[in-house]
Amino acid sequence: MTTTTAAAPRRSTGAGARGWLARAGGQNLALVGALALILALFGSLNPNYLSWANVQVIAEAVTITGLLAVVQTVVIICGALDISVGSQAGLASVTSAMVFTATGSNAVLGMGAAIGIGGLVGLFNGAVIVYGRVNATIATLAGLAAYKGVAQLVSDGRAQGYVLNDPIFVFLSRGSVAGLPVMVWLLILVAIAVHVLLKYTDIGRNVYAIGGNDTAARLAGINLNKYLIAVYALSGMVAAVAGILLTARTGSGQPVSGSEGLELQSITAAALGGCALKGGKGGIGGTLLAVSLLGALSNGLTVQGINAFWQNVAQGALLVAAVVIQQRRNRERAVGLPA
């Protein structure tokens, strides 16, 4: 008696391609395509644009924004927003330089004080939101003004100290490892750490759960208050690291210059990278791609001698486009229009 074995069903090429696209993420592929288009466009207009030296310039220029965008991604996934990250970076920058000067050029103490201030500011933001029952957008919008004001008060509105006579700050600002600036390596390390936290730990899964459905997360036993405060503390500390890099790049503590507008850039990058502004969705990979795209666009406009004000126009347009795409993808009803 002959037995026949049924052949395993073949997966069609189309199904396999769709699975690969799903794993890669349509948003990320679109960002890769847009980035390639920008590189090709400006590369054809100026051959030096694609030189390794200019690529390093772009990478270094987006480091501070990238750090803030990475932590903004975590905040948004948790269903909140931090509009004060730019002011926090400015406050940390001033703190690092002033403590450095006051302690006889002790870079470690200066950086430690900046990160400590960042953590305290983040905890304060979280406490105001949780225990004061203030909307996250309003609370951090108030923080945007308040922390900028504090930085200007303690520094008298002027750049503070000079840190480029210290080897640690010099290494941060001018050092390189394996052909990449140290600042870029720092962004990569922070991004990897946050990615692992979000994707491979219970903490990260709980952050996604809170942003996706806070009621269900609370019923599942997740302490929403603890997580929200912790997320804002993380935001403050990473913003402080960005402030330290700002000090290293400029050679002094900057209360406003260099940090103003970073909050909008971080939110734009997170939204472009696929973060749902209502929370529960997003990832570090998409955010880094969006940061790279914004940096490549900004550098290309600068290389071509286009008015820098157009960069702000482009940034605002990209943010609106990212939100519109999210609304359409989620089939959400337009405000004021029938479903």
Segments making up each domain of the chain, as ranges: 64-283
CB 195 within 8 A of CB 201: no
**CA dihedral of 231, 258, 193, 275, whole degrees rounded to 10:** 60
- Name the residue with tokens 């406009």: 301
DSSP string, 169-180: HHHHHH-EETTE
What's the sign of the alpha-carbon dihedral 245, 247, 249, 254?
Answer: positive
Q: What is the DSSP letter of 50?
A: G
Please give the model's pTM, rounded to 2 decimal places. 0.87
Q: Can you tell me the distance from the alpha carbon of 61 to that of 172, in angstroms, rounded to the nearest whole number?
A: 13
Backbone angles phi, psi at 296, to 5 degrees: -65, -40
pLDDT at residue 284 in the model: 94
pLDDT at residue 6 in the model: 46
CB 22 within 8 A of CB 279: no
pLDDT at residue 303 in the model: 86
CB atoms within 10 A of CB 55: 15
Instruction: Determine the Cα angle at 100 with ends 99 and 102, to 5°.
Output: 60
Residue type, 331: R
pLDDT at residue 338 in the model: 54
Under DSSP, is residue 222 helix (H, G, I), strand (E, B) or coil?
Answer: coil
β-pair partners for 160: 253
Q: Of 205, 308, 221, 326, nearest to 268 (Cα)?
A: 326
What's the sign of the alpha-carbon dihedral 279, 26, 289, 201?
Answer: positive
β-pair partners for 153: none
CB 232 within 8 A of CB 122: yes
pLDDT at residue 336 in the model: 53
What would you report as the CA-atom Rg of the chain, rounded to the nearest whole angstrom? 22
**CB-side neighbour CA atoms (13 Å) of 174:** 10
CB atoms within 10 A of CB 106: 16
Across the 339 residues of the chain, what is the mean pLDDT of every consecutive 10-residue run?
Answer: 47 48 64 90 90 91 94 95 94 95 93 96 96 94 94 91 92 90 95 96 95 92 94 96 94 83 90 88 93 91 82 78 70 55
pLDDT at residue 307 in the model: 78
Q: What is the DSSP letter of 49?
A: G
Which pLDDT tens digit goes with each residue over 5-14? 444 445 444 4
E-strand ranges in the chain read: 176-177, 180-181
